[in-house]
C-alpha cells in the first residue's frame, strides 16, 4: 500500500514537471537582482533611484541621437552625472555621430569619441534605426547597418570588449498597412515618418535583417544585442535560426513584453529556456524633459509607475498561474530560477562586466 502511494505521488510530480507550467519555488521580486538594460532616463530622478535601490535594481541608460550631434555631448554629460550621482543604480551606453559620415577621417573621429565615453564608464554602444531607415549616401541611397563605413568602428568596439546594441529596422507592422488592431498602431499613427509601408525605394524588413545578419557574420567577435527582440517578435522561428547561426547575437525584450502575451505560453516558455543565455531584460522606458527638471509630484508618480511595471513584468516571467496585464488575463511563464536569473541579470553581467556591482541584494553562490 505504501509503495502504491509513493508511486502515485511521484507520478503526480512527473506529470506536473512534464506539463512544464509550474515553477517549484516562488521567486520574490525584491530579492532577486534585476537589470533593465534598455532605458532612456535623462532627467534627474532621485525618487526613481530610491525605488531601484529598494528593489535591488539598476538600469543601463542608452544615449541617442546620432543624427542630432548637438545632443551627443549634453546627453553624454547627463548620463555620466546620473551614473556618478546614483551609483550603483545608473549605468550607461554611449552612441556616436552619424552626420560626419562623409568625412575622410570619420571612423577615427568616432573611435576617439567612443574611447572617451568608455573612459567615462560607458558599458555598451548603441546604434539606432536611423542607420538603415534614415541616413543616405550623397546619391540618396539608404546606408544600411552593414555599410563598410561602420566596419572599423565595429572592429574597435569588439576590440574594446563592449557590446553593440543594434536597433535595426522596426516591427514588421511598419511595412504593412496601418492596422487599428495592431499593438504598434498608436506608435505609427503618432510617428508616421517611421511607417514606411508603400514608400518607394525604402529597404524592406528582410533587407534590414539581412544587413544586421551580415554585421554578425563579418564581426564574429562583436557582441550584438538586438533591441526589441531583434525586430523579430512576429517570427520566433526566424529569431531562433539567427541564434543558432550567430553565437554573438543576443536580444533584449524592451517594449516587446506585451507582444509575448498573445503568443502561446508554452511556445514562449520553451523559447526562453532554449535561448536562456541570449535574452536580456529591458523596457525602453524613457524620461527626459525639454523644459528642465520635472516637478517632484511628477517624478514620484513616474517612479511609482515604473515600480508597478517592473513588478508586473517580473510576475509574467517568473510568476505562476494567471495574472492580469493591462486588460488581459495571461498565463505567466513560470520560468525556472536559473533562467530567470540569467534573463534578469546574469546575462547582462556577462556581456557587460561593469554591471557586476549592480544591485545590492544577494547573488547565488556560482558567481
Ligand atoms: Zn530605446
pLDDT confidence of residue 45: 95
pLDDT band at 24 (very low <50, low <70, confident <90, very high): low
339: its cell numbers: 533562467
Most confident of 131-135, 234-238, 289-293: 234-238
Residue 75: is its pLDDT beyond 80?
A: yes
> Whole domain around residue 184: which residue ranges?
28-299+337-357
Phi, psi (rounded to 5 degrees) for 324: -100, 125
Report d(CA 299, CA 40) in Å as an integer.
15
pLDDT band at 133 (very low <50, low <70, confident <90, very high): confident
Q: How remote is the CA of residue 14 from the centroid of ligand 1, in Å?
A: 42
Contact (CB, 8 A) for 252 and 264? no
Instruction: Tell me if 311 is assigned to some domain.
Output: no
pLDDT confidence of residue 8: 33
pLDDT confidence of residue 21: 44
pLDDT band at 358 (very low <50, low <70, confident <90, very high): low
Q: How remote is the CA of residue 284 from the centroid of ligand 1, in Å?
A: 5
User: DSSP class of residue 346?
Assistant: I
Place of cell 547565488: 364
Q: How remote is the CA of residue 351 from the centroid of ligand 1, in Å?
A: 18
Report d(CA 367, CA 364) in Å as an integer.
6
CATH label of the domain that carries residue 243 = 3.20.20.140
Averaged over 53-65, what is the pLDDT? 96
19: its cell numbers: 506539463
Instruction: Tell me if 307 is assigned to some domain.
Output: no
Share of the chain above pLDDT 70, in %: 90
Q: What is the per-residue pLDDT across 181-227, written as a single tens digit (0 to 9) for each?
A: 888 888 888 988 888 888 888 999 999 999 999 999 999 999 999 99
Instruction: Tell me if 48 is assigned to some domain.
Output: yes
DSSP string, 230-278: HT-TT-HHHHHHHHHH-TTEEEE-TTTHHHHTTS-HHHHHHHHHHTTTT
Buried b (16+ CB within 10 A) or exposed e, 54-72: ebbbbbbbbbbbbeeeebb
Q: How remote is the CA of residue 38 from the centroid of ligand 1, in Å?
A: 6
Q: How remote is the CA of residue 124 from the centroid of ligand 1, in Å?
A: 13
3-state secondary structure of 157: helix
Share of the chain above pLDDT 90, in %: 74
pLDDT confidence of residue 215: 98
Instruction: Tell me if 9 is assigned to some domain.
Output: no
Q: How remote is the CA of residue 63 from the centroid of ligand 1, in Å?
A: 9
Instruction: Tell me if 84 is assigned to some domain.
Output: yes
pLDDT confidence of residue 5: 35
Q: What is the per-residue pLDDT across 96-127, written as a single tens digit (0 to 9) for each?
A: 999 999 999 999 999 999 999 999 999 999 99
Instruction: Tell me if 366 is assigned to some domain.
Output: no
Q: How remote is the CA of residue 48 from the centroid of ligand 1, in Å?
A: 18
**Nearest alpha-carbon partner for 282 in 46, 32, 58, 31:** 58
Higher pLDDT: 316 or 23? It is: 316
Report d(CA 242, CA 233) in Å as an integer.
13
pLDDT confidence of residue 112: 98
Q: What is the per-residue pLDDT across 141-165, written as a single tens digit (0 to 9) for each?
A: 999 999 999 999 999 999 999 999 9
Average pLDDT, the chain: 89
Place of cell 508603400: 198
Question: What's the total number of domains in the chain?
Answer: 1
Contact (CB, 8 A) for 185 and 141? no
Contact (CB, 8 A) for 110 and 96? yes
Give whole-number Cα distances, 138 to 67, 96, 131, 165, 202, in Å: 15, 20, 15, 26, 16
Residue 23: is its pLDDT beyond 60?
A: no
Name the residues around ion ligand 1, CB cutoff 5 A.
Answer: 284
Amino acid at each position: 500500500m505504501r509503495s502504491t502511494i509513493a508511486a502515485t505521488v511521484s507520478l503526480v510530480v512527473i506529470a506536473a514537471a512534464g506539463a512544464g507550467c509550474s515553477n517549484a519555488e516562488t521567486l520574490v521580486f525584491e530579492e532577486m537582482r534585476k537589470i533593465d538594460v534598455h532605458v532612456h532616463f535623462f532627467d534627474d530622478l532621485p525618487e526613481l533611484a530610491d525605488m531601484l535601490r529598494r528593489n535591488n535594481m539598476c538600469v543601463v541608460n542608452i544615449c541617442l541621437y546620432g543624427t542630432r550631434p548637438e545632443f551627443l555631448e549634453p546627453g553624454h554629460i547627463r548620463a555620466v552625472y546620473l551614473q556618478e550621482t546614483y551609483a550603483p543604480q545608473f549605468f550607461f551606453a554611449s552612441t556616436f555621430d552619424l552626420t560626419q559620415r562623409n568625412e575622410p577621417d570619420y571612423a577615427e573621429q568616432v573611435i576617439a569619441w567612443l574611447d572617451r565615453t568608455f573612459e567615462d564608464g560607458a558599458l555598451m554602444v548603441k546604434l539606432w534605426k536611423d542607420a538603415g531607415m534614415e541616413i543616405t549616401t550623397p546619391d540618396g541611397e539608404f546606408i544600411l547597418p552593414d555599410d563598410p563605413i561602420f566596419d572599423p568602428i565595429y572592429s574597435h568596439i569588439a576590440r574594446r570588449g563592449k557590446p553593440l546594441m543594434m536597433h535595426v529596422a522596426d516591427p514588421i507592422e511598419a511595412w504593412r498597412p496601418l492596422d487599428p488592431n495592431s499593438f504598434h498602431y498608436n506608435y505609427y499613427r503618432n510617428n508616421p515618418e517611421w511607417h514606411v509601408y508603400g514608400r518607394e525605394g525604402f529597404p524592406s524588413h528582410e533587407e534590414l535583417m539581412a544587413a544586421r545578419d551580415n554585421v554578425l557574420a563579418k564581426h564574429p567577435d562583436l557582441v550584438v544585442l538586438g533591441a526589441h527582440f531583434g525586430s523579430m517578435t512576429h517570427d520566433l522561428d526566424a529569431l531562433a535560426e539567427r541564434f543558432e547561426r550567430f553565437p554573438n547575437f543576443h536580444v533584449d525584450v524592451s517594449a516587446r513584453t506585451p507582444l509575448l502575451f498573445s503568443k502561446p505560453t508554452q511556445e514562449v516558455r520553451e523559447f526562453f529556456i532554449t535561448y536562456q543565455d541570449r535574452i536580456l531584460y529591458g523596457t525602453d522606458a524613457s524620461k527626459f524633459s525639454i523644459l528642465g527638471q520635472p516637478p517632484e509630484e511628477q517624478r514620484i508618480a513616474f517612479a511609482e509607475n515604473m515600480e508597478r511595471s517592473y513588478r508586473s513584468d517580473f510576475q509574467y516571467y517568473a510568476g505562476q498561474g494567471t495574472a492580469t496585464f493591462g486588460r488581459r488575463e495571461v498565463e505567466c511563464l513560470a520560468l525556472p530560477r536559473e533562467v530567470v536569473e540569467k534573463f534578469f541579470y546574469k546575462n547582462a553581467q556577462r556581456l557587460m562586466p561593469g554591471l557586476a556591482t549592480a544591485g545590492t541584494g544577494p547573488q547565488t553562490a556560482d558567481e
